[in-house]
Amino acid sequence: MSEEEDDIILSELDDDELVQQMFDDLYDGLKEEIEEGVNILLERKWEPYRILTEALVGGMTIVGRDFRDGILFVPEVLLAANAMKGGMAILKPLLVETGAPRVGKMVIGTVKGDIHDIGKNLVGMMMEGAGFEVVDLGINNAVDAYLDTAKTEGADIVGMSALLTTTMPYMKVVIDTMVEQGIRDDYIVLVGGAPLNEEFGRAIGADAYCRDAAVAVETAKEFMARKHNQMAAG
Ligand code: B12
């Protein structure tokens, strides 16, 4: 058999096969194939959000499981993350393209000591898509980065992301500093990341823990509505 006959033509696969193939390609860190897969699903009229959650996040879940189990290592996971980012870059303008009026402003970043940014980027994208203005601080943020930017930008929401059990306590440092400075109530504080849960969010004094980007959007909208009602009442 010639090599070409061995090659899988993504566009010839049906939707289920294509998503399965994208899981494999993400696993293998094949950025171009992931980009091609995303484009094919878009041509087949899949909603950008569905592509994001079913094909990309679905694939990353498998990578995460094998990373945990010691089957994959950091270099391979980095390649997978890079492939995922390639797909996300195509979807971002489509998710953001709502033309909705700005409903609020969020400063978001990954906490000090932590370089995981895929989840944070996803939350930022979804928030923008829902009409929020998003200021992305990137990774490895100390207290000042959050608080100075929130102040200068006049943010409504401060969002913190942590993917490591060793970095998640830093969220409390940020919130405690807000309390010390008497500015805690000026902001809605949302936290997220795989190792967190609701109990942790409550314990550190956040307004809410959000398990994924869709919940983050819903929660942010709810809090903004409350804030507006309070302002109207007061
Ligand atoms: C990709 C990845 C990496 C990549 C990161 C690439 C990048 N640019 O982000 C690389 C290879 C660099 C990496 C490095 C490391 N990693 Co890593 N990594 C992962 C992996 C496989 C996937 C994370 C991911 O992107 N998930 C997909 C996104 C979409 O999900 P998410 O991040 O959870 O985000 C969603 C929600 O949590 C929520 N959310 C997230 N942030 C926020 C923020 C707000 C405000 C809100 C509202 C919501 C929200 O919404 C998001 C979207 O729905 C996880 C496994 C896992 N199960 O999480 C391990 C994992 C997090 N890593 C782990 C480890 C140990 C490490 C290293 C220490 C490994 C090492 N020995 O060097 C280093 C740490 C480096 C550092 N200082 O940060 C462990 C952590 C264990 C622990 N309990 O602390 C995990 C759990 C793997 C494991 N089981 O062992 N990693």
At 159-210, the pLDDT tens digits run 999 999 999 999 999 999 999 999 999 999 999 999 999 999 999 999 999 9
- Rounded to an integer, what distance in angstroms lies between the CA atom of residue 120 and that of residue 159? 9
Are 68 and 115 part of one and the same domain? no
Q: What is the mean pLDDT of residues 126-132?
A: 80
- Helix, strand, coil percentages for the chain (3-state, nearest 5): 60, 10, 30
Are 79 and 123 part of one and the same domain? no
Asked if pLDDT for residue 5 goes beyond 50, the answer is: no
Q: Measure 190 CA to ligand 1 centroid, in angstroms.
A: 17
Domain membership of residue 66 (yes or no) is: yes
Are 229 and 118 part of one and the same domain? yes
Are 89 and 115 part of one and the same domain? no
Domain of residue 120: give its range: 105-233
What is the predicted pLDDT for the residue at 117?
95
The region that residue 188 occupies, defined by phi over 0 for left and psi between -120 and 50 for alpha, beta otherwise, is beta
- Rounded to an integer, what distance in angstroms lies between the CA atom of residue 102 and that of residue 36? 32
Ligand 1 mutation pick, 52, 56, 65, 67, max ligand atoms within 8 A of CB: 67
Domain membership of residue 152 (yes or no) is: yes
CATH of the domain at 58: 1.10.1240.10
- Rounded to an integer, what distance in angstroms lies between the CA atom of residue 130 and that of residue 221? 9
Are 52 and 119 part of one and the same domain? no
Domain tally, the chain: 2
Q: Which pair of structure tokens corresponds to residue 89?
A: 């870059």
Residue 30: how many other CB atoms lie within 10 Å? 20
Strand partners, 192: 161
Asked if pLDDT for residue 134 goes beyond 90, the answer is: yes
Ligand 1 mutation pick, 61, 91, 163, max ligand atoms within 8 A of CB: 163
Domain membership of residue 2 (yes or no) is: no
Strand, helix or coil for residue 84: helix
Asked if pLDDT for residue 2 goes beyond 50, the answer is: no
pLDDT band at 130 (very low <50, low <70, confident <90, very high): confident
Q: Among 60-64, 67-71, 99-103, 203-207, which range has the highest average pLDDT? A: 203-207
Q: Which pair of structure tokens corresponds to residue 175?
A: 């919130």
Distance, CA of 217 to chain centre: 11
Domain membership of residue 3 (yes or no) is: no
**With contact defined as beta carbons under 8 Å apart, do 152 and 124 qualify?**
no
Q: Is the CB of 126 under 6 A from ligand 1?
A: no
- Rounded to an integer, what distance in angstroms lies between the CA atom of residue 93 and that of residue 128? 10
What is the predicted pLDDT for the residue at 128?
83
Are 92 and 111 part of one and the same domain? no
Domain membership of residue 172 (yes or no) is: yes
Q: How far is CA 195 from CA 4, 55, 121, 200, in A?
A: 44, 22, 17, 9
Q: Which pair of structure tokens corresponds to residue 50?
A: 């569905």
Closest C-alpha residue for ligand 1 atom 56: 64
Residues near 211 by beta carbon (within 8 Å), at least 6 away in sequence = 192
Closest C-alpha residue for ligand 1 atom 25: 118
Closest C-alpha residue for ligand 1 atom 22: 64
Q: What is the mean pLDDT of residues 224-231?
A: 84
Phi (first) and psi of residue 132, to 5 degrees:
-85, 150
Are 111 and 226 part of one and the same domain? yes
What is the predicted pLDDT for the residue at 102?
67
Domain boundary among 98, 128, 157: 98
Query: Which has more confidence, 61 or 26?
Result: 26
Q: Which pair of structure tokens corresponds to residue 228?
A: 């507006």
Q: Among 44-53, 161-170, 209-218, 221-230, which range has the highest average pLDDT? A: 161-170
Domain membership of residue 91 (yes or no) is: yes
pTM above 0.95, yes or no: no
**With contact defined as beta carbons under 8 Å apart, do 25 and 83 qualify?**
yes
Domain membership of residue 1 (yes or no) is: no
Asked if pLDDT for residue 67 goes beyond 90, the answer is: no
Domain membership of residue 5 (yes or no) is: no
Are 135 and 214 part of one and the same domain? yes
Domain boundary among 40, 74, 98: 98
Are 223 and 208 part of one and the same domain? yes
- For residue 141, give the DSSP letter: B
Q: Is the CB of 150 under 6 A from ligand 1?
A: no
Tell which atom from ligand 1 comes closest to the C-alpha of 210.
47
What is the predicted pLDDT for the residue at 100?
56
Are 93 and 125 part of one and the same domain? no
Are 165 and 205 part of one and the same domain? yes
Are 221 and 123 part of one and the same domain? yes
CATH of the domain at 152: 3.40.50.280
Domain boundary among 47, 71, 98: 98
pLDDT band at 233 (very low <50, low <70, confident <90, very high): confident
